[in-house]
Structure 1
């Protein structure tokens, strides 16, 4: 009897050890610097940036090898023919088989015109307020924005008004436009501010995203909008997630901004990021709102934005990516 109890205890301890090892594999011990440490680091480095062409080419190769953004960033007729199974990257048990309803909605191939020289990726952090970065952003050759941000005259001086690609999280369609079930006019009218750009939606990331994304596509198509809907390829999103996990970014899901920066690093000759600052205090040690247009915080455990920022700042210091933090020069 004692021997049996001893073996039972051993098996319990072995099981606990396995659980602990699995936990540390998924959530490894990693200390993100405090807000104060980040501010001090950025203040030391922000005025010094030298373009590193070797680093840029290396990162473009790394992202091409792992994720092939030029071919795979969007679902197209070329990479997703009829009958192909698209496995959702956010819900691994669900998939969508390309059929006669969805196939005609895909663009033929990558619609972007290369080369993409100077690209700007614009996040939505409150650090953009009074930054006077609008003219710098608008001078880029290709401008990407996150999650349908407002570009009204109140914000133009800080964020610019030109757009070439803007992401649309389906949750925004759900909350701001009531799932497009009652009226589509408000949605269509609000999209006009982005001009003849691409709307980039994760239609095949989670099951609820599919209907919302298709509804948004039909709303624009039926109104003869000059915007083009692109559906994010779940294979691309999944491979980008794995890439950053190998670079110490551990989150349930990467932020939209990091997906866009990854896309830009894989496609563009030079990338500048604006509005990426996930901390509650700015360089002047004053409070910073989460967005330049509101202070609605994300779900705490969904993203790991401070970890993302640390990795992006390392790329800034190496000259691979330029991050504009705080005010832009006149």
Structure 2
């Protein structure tokens, strides 16, 4: 529903006429730059999505090409997705994207950790980006997810047999926030083998870490790199380029996302849209009910809620839903396969 535009009525004032007029102009300018808006509530979003259900989704190649061009112009995912010897040469001063006052100079030790270039054969063909939303539970989407050429996952999610039918088992890249290394693995101070054993489920994948986003995240990220190397693990660490993360953040904020920081999922979808020819996303549903009004947990594996006020998940969803409706990516929200019914005795 369109909101009525704000009307500036200047009341009688003791200010000079010029001062009152200037105040009105200031208020109008403020409203123009920082508009007051109301985000649709959960029920409105569900109803809006339901109106689109049943309509065959079609890729819009013109829209895909246009959006990829925007990403390339602002953020260049193909070159800047990860830190490499090409984009982060020896001696370069690199500013952290999550902190204003900290930077790192690329020395010999740090430089040796980077691949020569982004280690993917670009463009990637068909990509699945898998979020961790509770909407994946009983979705039967595992087989469809694994049919992609390249599968990206968020924040070291569980992929045990009890989940694989819904979320698949294939992984080419998985993100790992330093906070997870701290909370789940005590910063690898006492549980290095436990960590190495836990990531075996991701097979020969890249573990994508924002080592240079926040100063507190650098040491845990480097520990992950050296731990996997020491144990001869199949996984390889890629470090996120803070310039890429910063530019992607600006890109989405210019499109109306109001948050302290974008979610890992949106960063990953943004990268996929720049790296892949075809993108399907799963588990991106930040609401407490599904399309049939049934309660669902926050994650497919637990109901731990995120810190309030840090991410703007409903805003992010609406941006991704807009891209789905315009044929830029496909968002899977319904079941892929009906769950098997247990036969009664």
TM-score w.r.t. structure 2 length?
0.88
- The structure whose Rg is larger is 2
**How far apart, in 2, do the equivalents of 1:248 and 1:200 lie?**
27
1:329 Cα deviation from its structure 2 partner: 4.4
Q: CA deviation at 1:311?
A: 0.7
Are the equivalent residues in 2 in contact too, given 1:55–1:320 (CA < 8 A)?
Answer: yes
Other structure's SS at 1:86 match: strand
The partner residue of 1:290 within 281, 285, 298 is 298
- Is the 8 Å Cα contact of residues 46 and 325 (structure 1) preserved in structure 2? no
- Give the SS at the match of 2:180: helix
Aligned mate of 1:273, from 281, 287, 310: 281
**Which residue of the other structure, out of 158, 169, 174, is the alignment partner of 2:166?**
158
CA contact (8 A) 1:144 1:165 kept: yes
Corresponding residue pairs, total? 316
Q: Which residue of 2 aligns with 1:43?
A: 50
Q: Distance between the aligned counterparts of 1:296 and 1:198, measured in 2?
A: 26
Counterpart mapping for 1:53-132 below 5 A: 53-132=61-140
Per-residue CA deviation, residues 3-52 of structure 1 (Å, 9 max, x unaligned), is: xxx99xx9xx98xx79x94x995x65332211111111111113321110
Q: What is the rounded CA distance, in whole Å, between the counterparts of 2:103 and 2:89 in structure 1?
A: 15
* Higher relative contact order, chain-length normalized (CA < 8 Å, sep 6+): 1
Q: 1:96 to 1:36 in 2, by over 3 A?
A: same
Alignment partner, residue 189 of structure 2 = 181
- Structure 1-normalised TM-score? 0.92
- Runs of 5+ unmatched residues, structure 1: 1-5
Which residue does the alignment assign to 1:322?
330
Q: 1:178 to 1:319 in 2, by over 3 A?
A: same
Aligned ranges 1:114-263 → 2 under 5 Å: 114-263=122-271
Distance 1:189 1:86 in 2: 33
Moved over 6 A (4+): none
> For the residues of structure 2 that align with 1:246 and 1:30, how far apart are their CA atoms?
15
Q: Point out where structure 2 has 5 or more consecutive residues left out of the alignment.
A: 1-14, 339-345
Q: Give how far 1:75 is off.
A: 0.5
Helix, strand or coil at the partner of 2:183: helix
